[in-house]
Chain A
Amino acid sequence: MERRGKQTWHFDQPVYIQGAGTAVGPEELKGPLGSCFDVSYDNLYAGQENWELAERQLMQDAVEVALKEAEKKSEEMDYFFAGDLLNQIVTSNYYAREVDIPYFGLFAACATVMEGVALAALFVDTGTANLTLTAVSSHNATAERQFRYPTEFAGQRPDSSTFTVTGAGAVVIGKKPSLIKVTDATIGKVRDYGIKQPFDMGSAMAPAAADTLITHLKETRRDPSYYDVIVTGDLSRVGSGILRKLVQDKGITLDRYEDCGVMIYHQEQPVFSGGSGAACPAVVTFGHLFKEMKEGRIKRMLVVATGALLSPLMIQQKESIPSIAHAVAFEREE
């Protein structure tokens, strides 16, 4: 691996996607990308007794599909990187119980998936591992009950709110060449611009996304046009507008730019500003964007996953919302 500047890793050794899997809930299935997901459920319980178990089921489903596509068994994985939104990342910990793999539990809120992919890619590039498994999950009901209000509570949400994606994404990364190569990763720094409203996370996360994106372009000496598409994790309609402005102020014009939170739902769905959650960038990247790459419509893409690092207690203590963004570049191998 070659370091580019302070925050970017360029993987000069072979790092390839061996397999990917996605599992989603009812709203995601109804969205425009519904057919791209591997496993789906028509209700939030996923056949389980409670929602925490449902989220674990989603992670299990995603991992099983990823391993199947990679034609590997979980015992062959050298390390497992996983994270989710729940306190003590219980979904990941309690699922890691089932798989016998040395485990790194990660937390970067909704940016966890790219933090995981970056680390997994680094391990493979440096020869620390032959095969790695990375997974993240989120669930609308578990997130609501932890961060906001009981799900049946008749509270009114502002238009800037986002809707936590119910889903899980998993990916196997290894050395064997495949259609999708992992080429670079930029590790973000925490940025806090004083936003205190948890119902407007787009505004809180946009500066971190801008910071990581600008740093990535600077350190790799690339122009936005190098990529066929630049994607953010879950800035939603509010945050993506702000991001465009922030990078424009630094003289960068984003040509083909999309946000996973905006892509995953139709505008008519009752999702306010768009999707959010650790699974949002994961399922859109592993389900939809990878498919676009395999079918040749995207040759190079940059995924900037964004995370709001708050907790309800911090908000009650009148703290603002610090955020982070991690970026990973993928390239189609001819």
Chain B
Amino acid sequence: MFEYLAAFVVGGFICFLGQMLMDIGKLSPTHTLSTLVVAGALLDGFHLYDRLIDFAGAGATVPITSFGHALVHGAMSEGDRYGFFGIGMGVFEVTSVGISSTILFSFLVAIFFKPKG
């Protein structure tokens, strides 16, 4: 049960931070998401995001911050092997599922549904 509580608290907290960025920082949704992605990337630079995932599971992988973490993770795994060019080779490795499925599903929904306004 603890895993669910940890997921709830950590995930909720990251969303709370996002809300603060929007309400107090007056950032737009796109700005907010971009900031959080960069934050996730930075945290993974210090190997901190992995620890958060071990602790909170989905509470750390579901928020958009994990996207930044995944990009750095992928970049680093190839970068360790091939240096600078490895970064470009690996950057989308881990997030591939996320981006491809979003493209696929948004396309399909756009074909079969109509916006309601």
Contacts and interface: CB of A to CB of B under 8 A. Distances in A.
Interface of A: 44, 51, 140-141, 144, 149-153, 155-156
Contact of A156 (B22, B115, B116, B117): B22
A-B pairs, 3 with minimum CB distance: A44-B117, A141-B117, A151-B117
B83 interface: no
B117 A140 contact: yes
Interface in B17-35: 22, 29
5 contacts: A141-B117, A151-B117, A152-B116, A153-B29, A156-B22
Contact of A152 (B22, B29, B115): B115
A250 B22 CA distance: 37
Interface in B67-117: 115-117
A281 B116 CA distance: 25
Contacts of A153: 29
Contacts of A156: 22
A153 B28 CA distance: 13
Q: Give the dominant DSSP class at B's interface.
A: loop
Contacts of B116: 44, 151-152
Contacts of A51: 117
A150 B117 CA distance: 9
A155 B117 CA distance: 13
Nearest to A139: B117
B19 to A, nearest CB: 9
Among the interface residues A51, A150, A152, which one has the most CB atoms of the partner chain B within 10 A? A152
A241 B117 CA distance: 29
Interface string B21-58: 01000000100000000000000000000000000000
Nearest to A155: B29
Contacts of B115: 141, 150-152
A156 B19 CA distance: 10
Nearest to B29: A155
Nearest to A44: B117
A153 B116 CA distance: 11
A147 to B, nearest CB: 13
A150 B109 CA distance: 14
A152 B106 CA distance: 12
A149 B115 CA distance: 12
A294 B115 CA distance: 40
Contacts of A140: 117
A276 B22 CA distance: 24
Nearest to A197: B26
Nearest to A153: B29
A258 B99 CA distance: 50
A150 B116 CA distance: 11
B15 to A, nearest CB: 12
B109 to A, nearest CB: 9
A58 B116 CA distance: 18
Nearest to A50: B114
B18 to A, nearest CB: 11
A137 to B, nearest CB: 16
A155 B29 CA distance: 7
Given A151-B116, A152-B116, 15 more contacts: A44-B116, A44-B117, A51-B117, A140-B117, A141-B115, A141-B117, A144-B117, A149-B29, A150-B115, A151-B115, A151-B117, A152-B115, A153-B29, A155-B29, A156-B22
